């Protein structure tokens, strides 16, 4: 199975200016992401890794390190809009699969990229794939910045929310899913944290920018709810490995630099 990894990169960032170009042990952040994915998937089927950006400076930085990059418009409302344009520029076929890897996750596990792509390839009724992992503490469960997802019996998403879902009605307000004394059915309903990686069918990506926004998408500020609102299915890979830390703030950047020995 071959697929394309697209890494959207936008130069503007309110919390961390010029974030894609932030230096991590001698290389720009977005280059670190692209190289980690490419090297991690190097022994498998052919995978094309492309940075889709809005700035000539990002293209130049990628080219200098042997990373393929394409220039997209700077006025896209969302990352998925940028991905749709990238599919057009690259001439990808509608039945192809694209995996969207965020440009601020230099510690992403390549095996997770492969799993998300493979899951979509094997679920022909789904248009999108993504990932999640079990929540192991109450703080994350209650945190609105931690997006939760609930699945059906086939591993397809029923709903994404910033609210603490699911709720065990008769188990109080604590970490109701934890403890060996809990009934098995209750433990199997344990909350899942959504991981922000997506696989898309290229044909769907071409349609997505033309779908009207969904009221739930606006309320939750979660773009994936637009797809579900319009009847598209999202299949979810559940991993028990927590993802590496992403970079949103200067503090995050310093933390990751230390991990790279910067």
CATH code: domain of residue 56: 3.90.550.10
pLDDT score recorded for residue 46: 64
Check residues 89 and 174 and name the one with the higher pLDDT: 89
Strand intervals (E) in the chain: 3-9, 23-24, 27-28, 47-53, 68-71, 97-100, 128-134, 148-151, 157-161, 192-201, 234-238
Query: Average pLDDT of the chain?
Result: 91
Number of domains in the chain: 1
DSSP symbols for 151-203: E-TTSBEEEEESS--S--TTS-SS-TT-STTS-HHHHHT--EEEEEEEEEEHH
User: Which percentage of the chain shows pLDDT scores above 90?
Assistant: 75
The values of phi and psi at residue 104, to 5°, are: -115, 25
| Cβ contacts of 213 within 8 Å, gap of 6 or more | 226
Instruction: Confirm if 185 and 168 have CB atoms less than 8 A apart.
Output: no
- pLDDT of 261 > 80? The answer is no
Contacts 24+ apart (CB under 8 A), 148-154: 148/191, 148/192, 148/193, 148/194, 149/192, 149/193, 149/194, 149/236, 150/192, 151/192, 151/236, 151/238, 154/235
pLDDT band at 43 (very low <50, low <70, confident <90, very high): low
Question: Is the CB of residue 69 less than 8 Å from the CB of residue 50?
Answer: yes
d(CA 112, CA 131): 8
For residue 202, the model assigns a pLDDT of: 97
More confident: 42 or 138: 138
Q: Which domain holds residue 242?
A: 3-259
Residue 35 has pLDDT above 70, yes or no: yes
Q: Residues with Cβ < 8 Å from 209, sequence gap 6 or more? A: 80, 81, 84
Using alpha carbons, list the distances in angstroms from residue 145 to 139, 141, 217, 218: 11, 10, 15, 15
* pLDDT tens string 205-236: 999 989 999 999 999 999 999 999 999 999 99
Per-residue confidence band for 119, with pLDDT thresholds at 50, 70 and 90:
very high
CA distance 101 to 86: 14
What average pLDDT does range 109-128 have in this prediction? 96
Neighbours of 56 (CB within 10 A): 11
73 cis-preceded (ω within 30 degrees of 0)? no
Q: Is 11 helix (H, G, I), strand (E, B) or coil?
A: coil
- DSSP run (H or E) holding 121: helix 110-122
Question: What values do phi and psi take at 219, rounded to 5?
Answer: -65, -45
């Amino acid at each position: 199975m071959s697929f394309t990894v697209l890494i959207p990169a936008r130069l503007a960032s309110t919390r961390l200016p010029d974030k894609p170009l932030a230096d991590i042990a001698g290389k720009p952040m977005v280059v670190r992401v692209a190289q980690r994915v490419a090297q991690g998937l190097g022994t498998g089927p052919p995978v094309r890794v492309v940075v889709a950006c809005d700035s000539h400076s990002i293209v130049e930085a990628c080219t200098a390190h042997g990373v393929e990059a394409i220039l997209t418009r700077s006025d896209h409302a969302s990352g998925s809009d940028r991905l749709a344009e990238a599919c057009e520029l690259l001439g990808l076929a509608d039945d192809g699969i694209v995996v969207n890897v965020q440009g601020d996750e230099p510690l992403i596990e390549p095996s997770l990229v492969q799993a998300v792509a493979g899951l979509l390839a094997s679920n022909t009724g789904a248009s999108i794939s993504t990932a999640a992992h079990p929540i192991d503490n109450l703080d994350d469960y209650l945190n609105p910045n931690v997006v939760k997802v609930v699945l059906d019996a086939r591993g397809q998403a029923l709903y994404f929310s910033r609210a603490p879902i699911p709720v065990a009605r008769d188990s109080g307000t604590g970490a109701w899913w934890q403890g060996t004394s809990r009934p098995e059915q209750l433990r199997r309903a344990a909350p899942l944290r959504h991981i922000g990686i997506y696989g898309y069918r290229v044909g769907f990506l071409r349609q997505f920018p033309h779908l009207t926004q969904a009221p739930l998408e606006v309320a939750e500020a979660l773009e994936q709810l637009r797809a579900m609102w319009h009847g598209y299915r999202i299949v979810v890979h559940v991993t028990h490995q927590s993802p590496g830390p992403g970079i949103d703030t200067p503090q995050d950047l310093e933390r990751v630099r230390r991990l790279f020995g910067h």
